[in-house]
Structure 1
Amino acid sequence: MSRATRVVRGRVLSFADDPAAAGTDALRRIDDGAVLVEGGRIAAVGEARAILDLAPADAVVDDHSGALVMPGLIDVHIHYPQTQVIASYGAQLLDWLHNYTFVEEQRFADPDHCARVAEFFLTELFRNGTTTALVYCTVYPQSADAFFAASERADARMIAGKAMLDRNAPKGLLDTVQTGYDDSKALIGRWRGRGRLDYAVTPRFAVTSSPEQLEAAGALMKEFPGVYMQSHVDENTDEIEFVRQLFPEARDYLDVYARAGLLGPRSVFGHCIHMTGDEIAAMAGTGSVAAFCPTSNLFLGSGLFDRTRLARAGVRIGLATDVGGGTSYSMLRTAAEGYKVLQLGGQSWPAAEAFYQMTLGNARALSLDHAIGSIEPGKDADLVVLDSHATPAMAHRMERVDDLEQELFVLMTLGDDRAVRQTYVAGEPKKA
């Protein structure tokens, strides 16, 4: 793929660590900075004048002076087949799945529909500044093929997997233990390591997978070391009770996955709201990741995520939109709702910590901080340009803002896709 050599100029802001641990030393800030991009990677970063002198004469210069140039935003839990059930009225988790999601996902038996929605989904992510995501496809292998193909064309770093579910869903949406294993293995062979793509073994959740299917998912994890695993746990109290009935031998909900060998540092579990002490200890001990999905948890009435409790126990945490239970593709809107959820729990979340989470923090949650999440030479040139004056209300508020922390809080609280001036994927602009 031919890529332009490019200079992206602006107020460069990145993180070297979590501000909660390192304070202001965690921030890397250049007020008149620039990023030199060559071959889809960051070649240099520094003061704008020095970078412009370093750049070849034919380099494209994108001048975003005054705006913030940051690492691309990362989403650790999202469902691409749910783009047309977002904002579906009036249900909690299990009814919402049966009334809306399972109906919608059967449309993905059609490869043309898969391709159309995959393109829309990626365009929407890029429009909102998201450059990497951990993505659920449907049970149909063609849904994963379509998503991976669209991601490859965009040269995007994406992780996705075909959902595995062999019970407690409509007949047309079920696979079997064997076909779930076979289809997933074939997709791993086709797509994993191709371009910037990776695969996630995806048992949808314990309610829709038999013990045998979960064991097959565990077998794939052993067969392909380093592959990801994504599922859901402890989202809704009725769901937890259903799992208890389905798996009476398990100590708790998370133990269902543990028995199948599905916990580990590349395992990401959505929600993690109603966790017992034993479950939290197991998450921390295995390095498994809890995905905080605030807009979804509020919309479906599932409960409030206790970030402080999990963090103090050593659980790795990511932030996620969870579209379509979640109500926005924007990580900025998601962080805003996360702030409110934590406020209700008596917990604070400074803006710098939220932006760390959306960038380097989520990269660390996905074990991708060697490649993305911060602006450093050698890393992928996935960038977002954020404008804190993007709307009249934001510009009006910014008249009274005099430091970076306040500005980040304005972006986080009032920002949405309009605040995203440009998104760069492997150094190429993607927002029209």
Structure 2
Amino acid sequence: MTETTLIAGQVLQTHADPFSTPPEEALTVASGAVAVAGGTVRATGTLADLRAAHPDAAVHDHGDALVLPGLIDAHVHYPQTAIIASWGERLIDWLNRYTFPEEGRFGDPLYAADVAARHLDLALANGTTTTASYCTTHPGSVDAYFAAAAERGMRVVAGKTCMDRNAPGELLDTPRRAHDESADLLARWHGRGRAVYAITPRFTPTSSDEQLEALGALWAANPTCLMQTHLSEQIEEIAWVRELAPEACDYLATYERHGLIGEGAVFGHAIHLEAREVTRLRESGSALVHCPTSNAFIGSGLFDTARRKADGIAVGLATDTGGGSSFSMLRTMAAAYEVGQLTGAALHPAQLLWLATTGSARALRLGDRIGRIAPGMEADLLVLDLASTPAIAQRAARAETAWEAAFPTIMMGDDRAVRAVYLEGRRLEGRGADRTAGI
């Protein structure tokens, strides 16, 4: 018989999109509990009612802590884990000085396995239960990431990064190799356990038309996969794309003409969009991912979350490590709030938490499985201590609403706020989740 566990605290539940519904109606927080069994959420309600329904269930009572869906980091580069916080470069120089030399090391399967494990443990320690990662051009880097995620029981998205130009020779593949190696990896991993494959051209400057055409054909043949790439991150990048593809009407067109747009297409950054691109992204059902710490760290610009949501485009949130300067989605939410202030829209705490959970899940076409606490959803849960440091505690003590209590942790919290992490209802012990041990 499947054992049931009751996880109690202040439970966050999602009812609607807080960008189209008043935020405090779209998401609610109330004292309660979550019943989990067999890896999924079975019920929510008061602790008393769930105890009566499941008298033999184990109870993890987290008191005043916030129980919410595990955080979803919708755009990361796990091979850049070791070069996070590298000083002083913009995008193209960053790639040449730091990223490409580091990615060259991932031809060593042992090194790839070590960094994959390290990255996922850092994610879990910060309350992130799902990531969507670019790997390197080495197929072994993809195997390493999916294998490490499977060992931990994590749902992850990943794919072989494809490049056939404008990168060091040892990192280049060809249109045929990109297609065939991606196809082999897709067949090996997509849908196996909790793995989701993403066809992954890095971006137009490093993928020829021939390569993008081959990857578009692969996606057309495997539509349940995702497709992830970069779009309009920096002004210099856009100018480079114009030089490489002068016949294209805009940056998005370099992907669109090869079928790399539509539901399941996930575009990182997308800061400097033209009107036609906004229209086509909305019409096609493509998703964007906001990477605020990376956009600031590399000097890319300000993504206007409220405007893109008003445009009717799906938006997720991400650390973009290692261009991003933190593994913490709490810090990323704080940065998104700060960027929102600069673009004229102070995001509500409910909107920030939604972006890091339901919003990211929808962007990754996983909204039917993760990102909300509801019956039938996978039981990836995070418990946040809303008084994890003296500075946060003294501010939270004056809170008059649940949102006022949560906001100091969003703005000032880090891994010390992570009281517990659950994957498919199983509380983590050890590794990067040492802070979650104890019950």
1:400 aligns with 2:398: yes
1:55 Cα deviation after fit: 2.5
1:26 aligns with 2:26: yes
1:116 Cα deviation after fit: 0.8
For 2:51, the aligned partner's letter is: L
Aligned residue runs from structure 1 range 32-431, under 5 A: 33-55=32-54, 57=56, 59-430=57-428, 431=433
Cα deviation code 1:116-153 (max 9, x no counterpart)? 11111111111111111211111100000011111112
1:13 Cα deviation after fit: 1.0
For 1:179, the aligned partner's letter is: R
| Alpha carbons 1:3, 1:428 under 8 Å: kept | no
Distance 1:83 1:152 in 2: 19
Alignment match, 1:15: 14
1:279 Cα deviation after fit: 1.0
> Which runs of no fewer than 5 residues in structure 1 stay unpaired?
none
Q: Percent identity?
A: 49
| Alpha carbons 1:3, 1:427 under 8 Å: kept | no
Cα deviation code 1:173-228 (max 9, x no counterpart)? 11111111110000010001101111000000001001000001101111101210
1:45 Cα deviation after fit: 1.3
Distance 1:119 1:227 in 2: 24
> Which runs of no fewer than 5 residues in structure 2 stay unpaired?
435-439
For 2:18, the aligned partner's letter is: P
3-state secondary structure, aligned to 1:103 = helix
| Alpha carbons 1:41, 1:377 under 8 Å: kept | yes
| Alpha carbons 1:36, 1:45 under 8 Å: kept | yes
| Alpha carbons 1:273, 1:305 under 8 Å: kept | yes
1:277 Cα deviation after fit: 0.6
Distance 1:60 1:172 in 2: 53
| Alpha carbons 1:333, 1:413 under 8 Å: kept | yes
1:254 Cα deviation after fit: 0.7
| Alpha carbons 1:12, 1:68 under 8 Å: kept | yes
1:19 Cα deviation after fit: 2.2
Distance 2:52 2:318 in 1: 39
1:323 Cα deviation after fit: 0.3
1:260 Cα deviation after fit: 0.9
1:88 Cα deviation after fit: 0.2
Distance 1:365 1:145 in 2: 24
Alignment match, 1:6: 5
| Alpha carbons 1:304, 1:341 under 8 Å: kept | yes
TM-score, scaled relative to structure 2: 0.95
1:408 Cα deviation after fit: 2.1
TM-score, scaled relative to structure 1: 0.97
Cα deviation code 1:232-280 (max 9, x no counterpart)? 0100111111111111111111110001110011111111111111111
| Alpha carbons 2:19, 2:306 under 8 Å: kept | no
Aligned residues: 429
1:3 Cα deviation after fit: 8.4
3-state secondary structure, aligned to 2:12 = strand
For 2:400, the aligned partner's letter is: D
Alignment match, 2:437: none
3-state secondary structure, aligned to 2:410 = helix
1:312 Cα deviation after fit: 2.3
Deviation larger for 14-23 or 114-123:
14-23
| Alpha carbons 1:8, 1:34 under 8 Å: kept | yes
| Alpha carbons 2:289, 2:363 under 8 Å: kept | no
Deviation larger for 185-194 or 16-25:
16-25
1:396 Cα deviation after fit: 1.2
Distance 2:58 2:331 in 1: 31
| Alpha carbons 2:298, 2:323 under 8 Å: kept | yes
For 1:410, the aligned partner's letter is: P
